[in-house]
Amino acid sequence: MKPRWLFADQLGPHFLDSPDQPVLLVESKAVFRRRAFHRQKAHLVLSALRHRATDANTRLVRTETYAEALTEPVSVCHPTSRAARALVQRLPDVEMLPPRGFVTAPHDFVSWAEGRNHLRLEDFYRFARANHDVLMDGGEPTGGRWNYDADNREPPPRRMDVPEPPAIAEDDIDAEVRADLDRWERDDGIEFVGNDGPRRFPATRREALARLRHFVQHRLPAFGPYEDAMLAGDPWMAHSMLSPAINLGLLDPLEVIHRAEQAYRDGSAPLNSTEGFIRQILGWRDFVWHLYWYFEPEYRAANELRARRELPKWFAELDADAVGARCLSDVLKGVRDHGWVHHIPRLMVLGNYAMQRGWRPAAVADWFHRCFVDGYEWVMTANVVGMSQFADGGRMSTKPYAAGGAYVNRMSDYCKPCRYDPKVRTGDNACPYTAGYWSFLARHEDALRANHRMRRPLQGLHRLDDLAVLVEQEAARGSRAP
Ligand code: FAD
C-alpha cells in the first residue's frame, strides 16, 4: 500500500484506506512566511500536525516547501484549495484520490446544480437530507417540516444556562510549538496577528471526540433557539465550537451529524436544535465547499458592488481597544483573543461593517482566512465574498446581509450600555451600523433596485429626511474606528 500524504487539514482516520496505512506529513514553514496568520491558528495547526505525527506508522518531514518532502510515490486525498490541487498535479508520483471530509460527493452536487438558475442552500440541503437519509422518516422530513428556523431566531436570554466545554490540557507538544513560534517571530521575521493564549480547540482526534460528546450531551439542546443571538459576556453561547476540528479533518462531518441525530432519536435533544445544527453541517458547510469548486476560479475576486477601500489599520490589526461601538469592539476582541467568534458576529457585525464601508471583498476574505482558527480558502469564497459582502451580486444569496443597529439591538445585549444609539442616524451618538446601513443603500440603490427583497428597504430610504446629512457624516467618518 502506498503511503498516504496527509495535508494538515486531513488528519482523521477517514483520510486513510486502512488504520495501518503508512502516513507522510509535511510541516512547511513557507506557509507562515507568506501571510500573517493569527498566532493561535498557527499554534492549532502545528499542534494538530505534530500530535498526529506521534501515531504509529507516521513520518513527519520538516521542509521549507512540500515538494522537497515528496521523495517517494504517495497517494493523497483531493486537497482543499486550488493552489494545493495545482501543486499535487504538478508533482510526479503523487496519485490524487477524490475528496474526503465532506458529505455530498462532487458528482452528486454537480448533478443537483446543473441547469438551476439560482443555487440556494435550502434546495441543496433538502436534496442532501434525502440523499443521505438524515432526519428522514419514510421519505418525509422528520417531524413533517424541513426547516425549524422560525423556532431558532430567539433574542438572547439574560444568560445561557449551558456548561462551557471543559478546558483543553496543553502538553509538551504545545509547549514546543509555542517555543518554536516565539523563535520564528524573534529570529525569522515571521509575523502573526492576534494574541497568544491557551489552546481552546481540539488538536487530536481524542480531544475532538470529547468536544463532540460534550456538545451533544450538554449544549445541543440549547443550540437552536439562540443560534442567531449574541451575548457580550458569552462568546461561545451554545455553539459547538467544532469547526476547527472538522476543518482539520479530525472529525468526519457525517459522524457529527449522526451523533446529533441519535441524540434527537434518543429524546435527549429537541428537533428544532437538532435540525438547525445538522443544517449547518450537511447544508451550509458542504454547500460552501462545493460552490468553491463549482464557481469559476475568478469568483473569489468578484466585486459587483465595486468596493475598493482597503481595510483600516485598526481592523487589520484587531485593535479592539480603538473601537467605541460596543458590539464591534467586543467581537474584534474575540477575534484578537481567541481567533474565533460565532456565525452571527462574523456575518452581522464584522462582515456587515465591512460591506457598509465598501472594503475590498478580497481583502476582507484574506483577513477572515488569516484571523480565524477555522479559516481556509475554500470556506472564504462563498461565506465572505458571496454571503457576507454580496460581491457576487446574489449568485448564492437572495439579498445583501446588510443591517442597521436595530438588528444588533434585537439579537444581542450590546446596545443598551453603548455610547451609540441604534435608533439614531446622525449626530454624535448615531449608531455606525444604522448610519452605515442607510448610506450603503443610498450608494447601491441602482444595483439593488431590481431585487424585489430590497424594495421595502429602498422605499424606507426615500422616506428619510436627513439622508444628505447622513451621507456626508459617513463620508467624513472615513476609515476611522467607530
Ligand atoms: P456551529 O454554529 O456550532 O455550527 C456547526 C458547524 O456547522 C460548524 O462547526 C461548521 O462546521 C458548520 N457551518 C455552519 N455554518 C457554516 C458555513 N456558513 N460555512 C461552513 N461551515 C459552516 N466557517 C468555517 O469553518 N471557517 C471559516 O473560516 C468561516 N468563516 C466565515 C466567515 C463569515 C463572514 C461567515 C459569515 C461565516 C464563516 N464561517 C466559517 C461559517 C460559520 O460562521 C462557522 O463555521 C461557525 O461560526 C463555526 O463555529 P461553530 O463550530 O461553533 O459552529
Nearest to 345 by CA among 317, 358, 323, 326: 326
In a domain, 45, yes or no: yes
156 has a pLDDT exceeding 90: yes
**The domain spanning residue 318 has which CATH number?**
1.10.579.10
Question: Ligand 1 pocket check: which of 379, 389, 390, 392 to mutate, most ligand atoms within 8 Å of Cβ?
Answer: 379
pLDDT for residue 118 is more than 90: no
End-of-domain residue from the set 261, 294, 327: 294
Strand partners, 25: 6, 60
Kindly state if the Cβ of 384 falls inside 6 Å of ligand 1.
Answer: yes
Pocket lining: 288 vs ligand 1, CB cutoff 6 Å: yes
In which element (H, E) is residue 193 found?
Answer: strand 192-193
Cell numbers at residue 302, please? Answer: 468578484
Nearest CA to ligand 1 atom 4: 280
Q: What is the pLDDT of residues 265-306, one digit of tens each?
A: 999 999 999 999 999 999 999 999 999 999 999 999 999 999
Of 37, 380, 383, 385, the one to substitute when testing ligand 1's pocket (max ligand atoms within 8 A of C-beta) is 383
The last residue of one of the domains, among 294, 325, 347, is 294
Q: Which residues of 133-155 are buried (b: 16+ CB within 10 A; e: fewer)?
A: ebbeeeeebbeeebebbebbeee
Residues 68, 150 share a domain? no
Cβ-based neighbour number of residue 72 at 10 Å: 11
- Asked if 455 and 396 sit in the same domain, the reply is yes
pLDDT of residue 369: 97
| Contact present, 110 and 294 (Cβ < 8 Å) | yes
Per-residue confidence at 409, pLDDT binned at 50, 70, 90? very high
Over residues 358-406, the pLDDT tens digits come to 999 999 999 999 999 999 999 999 999 999 999 999 998 889 999 999 9
Kindly report the protein residue whose alpha carbon is nearest to atom 24 of ligand 1.
374
Check pLDDT > 90 for residue 263: yes
Residue 303 and residue 361 in contact, taking contact as beta carbons nearer than 8 Å:
yes
The bridge status of strand 94-97 relative to strand 74-77 is parallel
**How long, in residues, is the chain?**
482
User: How far does residue 247's CA lie from ligand 1's centre (Å)?
Assistant: 10
The Cα 168–Cα 180 span in angstroms is 20
Per residue in 454-467, pLDDT tens?
999 999 999 999 99
Q: How confident is the model at residue 78 (pLDDT cuts 50, 70, 90)?
A: very high
Domain holding 51: CATH number? Answer: 3.40.50.620
352: closest CA among 286, 421, 407, 281?
407
The answer, yes or no, to whether residue 478 has pLDDT greater than 90, is no
Under 8 Å between Cβ of 199 and 40:
yes
**Residues 409 and 327 placed together within one structural domain of the fold:** yes
Cell triple for residue 261?
441525530
**pLDDT higher than threshold 90 for residue 477:** no
3-state helix, strand, coil in the chain (%, to 5): 50, 10, 40
Q: Is the CB of 389 under 6 A from ligand 1?
A: no
Q: Is 308 inside a domain boundary?
A: yes
**Model confidence band, residue 54 (pLDDT cutoffs 50, 70, 90):** very high
Residue 403 shares a structural domain with residue 471: yes
**Residue at a domain's end among 277, 294, 311:** 294
pLDDT of 67: 81
pLDDT of residue 64: 82
Same domain, 226 and 305: no
Regarding the beta carbon of 347 and ligand 1, being less than 6 Å apart is answered yes
Are 326 and 466 in a shared domain? yes
Whether residue 182 is contained in a domain is answered as no
Burial 331-365 (b: 16+ CB within 10 A, else e): bbbbbbbbbbbbebbbbbbbbbbbbbbbbbbbbbb
Amino acid at 435: A
Say whether both 264 and 148 belong to one domain. yes
Q: Are residues 389 and 311 in the same domain?
A: yes
Instruction: State residue 264's pLDDT score.
Output: 98
pLDDT tens string 217-253: 999 999 999 999 999 989 999 999 999 999 999 999 9
| CATH code of 244's domain | 1.25.40.80
Report how far ligand 1's centroid is from the alpha carbon of 134 (Å): 20
pLDDT at 66 over 90: no
Phi, psi (degrees; rounded to nearest 5) at 50: -70, -35
How much of the chain exceeds pLDDT 70, in percent?
100
Q: Whose CA is nearest to atom 2 of ligand 1?
A: 239
Q: Is the pLDDT of residue 29 over 90?
A: no
pLDDT(333) > 90 = yes
Inside any domain, residue 176: no
| C-alpha pair distances (Å), 287 with each of 84, 282, 382, 386 | 20, 8, 9, 12
52 lines ligand 1 (CB under 6 A): no
Q: How confident is the model at residue 56 (pLDDT cuts 50, 70, 90)?
A: very high
| pLDDT at residue 68 greater than cutoff 90 | no
| Number of domains composing the chain | 3
Task: Give yes or no: residues 383 and 469 share one domain.
Answer: yes
**Within-domain flag for 175:** no
**Proportion of the chain above pLDDT 90, given as a percent:** 94
b/e 438-475 (16+ beta carbons within 10 angstroms → b): bbbbbbbeebbeebeebeebeeebeebeebeebbebbe
259 and 122 fall within a common domain: yes
CA of 418 to the centre of ligand 1 (A): 27
Across the chain, mean pLDDT equals: 96
Measured in Å, residue 279 CA sits from the centre of ligand 1 at: 11
Task: Please give the distance of CA 346 from its chain centroid, rounded to a whole number.
Answer: 8
Consecutive H or E run containing 183: helix 172-187
Place of cell 485593535: 319
Pocket lining: 289 vs ligand 1, CB cutoff 6 Å:
no
What is the grid cell recorded at 173?
507538544
pLDDT value of position 65: 80
Instruction: Tell me which residue range forms the domain holding 346.
Output: 300-477
Same domain for 395 and 248, yes or no, is: no
The rounded distance, in Å, linking the Cα atoms of 79 and 102 is 12
Give 239 Cα–ligand 1 centroid separation in angstroms.
10
Q: Check whether residue 344 and residue 226 sit in a common domain.
A: no
Ligand 1 center to 345 CA (angstroms): 11
Q: How confident is the model at residue 102 (pLDDT cuts 50, 70, 90)?
A: very high
φ, ψ for residue 134, nearest 5 deg: -105, 130
Choice from 240, 243, 380 to test ligand 1 binding pocket (greatest atom count within 8 A of CB):
243
- The pLDDT, as a whole number, for residue 332 is 98
